[in-house]
Structure 1
Amino acid sequence: MILRTTAIVLAGLLALPGHAAPASDARDAFFANLGKLCGAVYEGASVAPDDGGEAFAGKKLVATVSACSASEIRIPFVVGEDASRTWIVTRTPAGLTLQHDHRHADGSPDEQTMYGGAAGSDGSAIAQRFRADAYTARLIPAAAANVWTLSVSPDGRKLSYVLERDGKPRFRAELLQTRVPNR
């Protein structure tokens, strides 16, 4: 009886905001795999579109998997000299979310920040697709149909970030590991 009561209390605590649910599907496996990469640094470039007209074209892209906890992983994403972006992957009772935290040089939030979406149940342990949420649709109406995909190669050496809008590719970054995770 005591064990059953303890299990019920723990399940109730995990359902509270800010507490991650126990691992149960590919979203949790993806989060665990990403967490194993804490401390890893990835460098690369924009590979699509390849017409040179994209804002990130020709700029060095660097993503660092950092600030990893049981419920959140922060990945600062530097474009050239611009360190204003951080991807935030959060474990929630409903699954995973991806948010884009944009800051000014003084640390204050950009007016277009914290947009993103939630992962559906169709991802895998190495790739998750995050569909734009209602907040994103209100903040950036053109992004209402966005889908962001984060993927990590099975060996952890390659990180990809893809943006689709209206079912069409809009941006793709391919990054290779230059520093291994903290172990």
Structure 2
Amino acid sequence: MSIRRTSVATCLASAALIALPAFADAGSAGDWWQRLQSLCGHAYAGELIRAPAGDDAFRNRRVVMHVRDCTEDRVRVPLAVDDDHSRTWVFTRNADGIELRHDHRHRDGTPDAVTLYGGRTSNSGSADTQVFPADDQTRDAIPGSGLRSVWLVEIHPGERFVYAANRVGTERGFQVDFDLSQTVDAPEAPWGWED
């Protein structure tokens, strides 16, 4: 798999600090949402681009995202890391913007102690990129993360899907890119889901 590598730490830090009116250009967020919706039903292989030193959760593992469950205003994207099916990204759209939540489950389907953290877009972003600064719920779920965490999700149709996370003002960052040029077999259902 050949995926163009991008460095997004600077972009994340800058975008998190931009205070534009929410959905000043709703078309950009709407276009991004349509790109996400267009992936529904498909699975894509990913490649770890960067991770903090000592964080081996994704290193040298098969990573597959499956855009599995879509409604008009919610898209759930399970993430399989080898045989670990504990993670699902939940994107929800409403009048205030787009929200990203990380739903973490145990094998028996019960919620992990650290789950449902994330944030909401603070502006309309672009058709390519949406940025999700961490919210108060994240500060409660992950002590010490506060509002300094930010997630960036890029969708480049037919090329790549980028998921990145960064602690603003630090070197702590994570990025995995998914190859949108070809689909792969969908993984089994995420933990806690009915098939």
Question: What TM-score does the superposition give when structure 2 sets the normalisation length?
Answer: 0.74
2:158 alignment partner, SS class: coil
Q: Which runs of 5+ in 2 are unaligned?
A: 1-22, 185-195
* Deviation at residue 50 of structure 1 after TM alignment: 8.0
* Deviation at residue 31 of structure 1 after TM alignment: 1.0
Structure 1 outlier segments of 4+, above 2 Å: 49-55, 166-169
In structure 1, what residue type is equivalent to 2:183? Answer: R
Q: In the alignment, what sits opposite 1:149? A: 152
* Deviation at residue 36 of structure 1 after TM alignment: 1.1
Bigger shift: residues 52-61 or 88-97: 52-61
1:106 alignment partner, SS class: coil
What are the Cα deviations for residues 49-97 of structure 1, in whole angstroms up to 9, with x where unaligned? 3867432111111101121111100100111211100000100120100
* Structure possessing the higher radius of gyration over alpha carbons: 1
Q: In the alignment, what sits opposite 2:40? A: 38
Matched, 1:172 2:175: yes
Question: What TM-score does the superposition give when structure 1 sets the normalisation length?
Answer: 0.79
Q: RMSD of aligned C-alpha atoms?
A: 2.1
* Deviation at residue 176 of structure 1 after TM alignment: 0.7
Return the alpha-carbon distance in structure 1 between the equivalents of residues 68 and 106 of structure 2: 20
Q: In the alignment, what sits opposite 1:13? A: none
Q: In the alignment, what sits opposite 1:125? A: 127
What are the Cα deviations for residues 131-166 of structure 1, in whole angstroms up to 9, with x where unaligned? 00100011112322111111111x333111100102
Q: In the alignment, what sits opposite 1:67? A: 69
* Deviation at residue 37 of structure 1 after TM alignment: 1.2
Alignment partner of 2:114 out of 112, 115, 120: 112
Q: Highest relative contact order (Cα 8 Å, sep 6+), 1 or 2?
A: 2
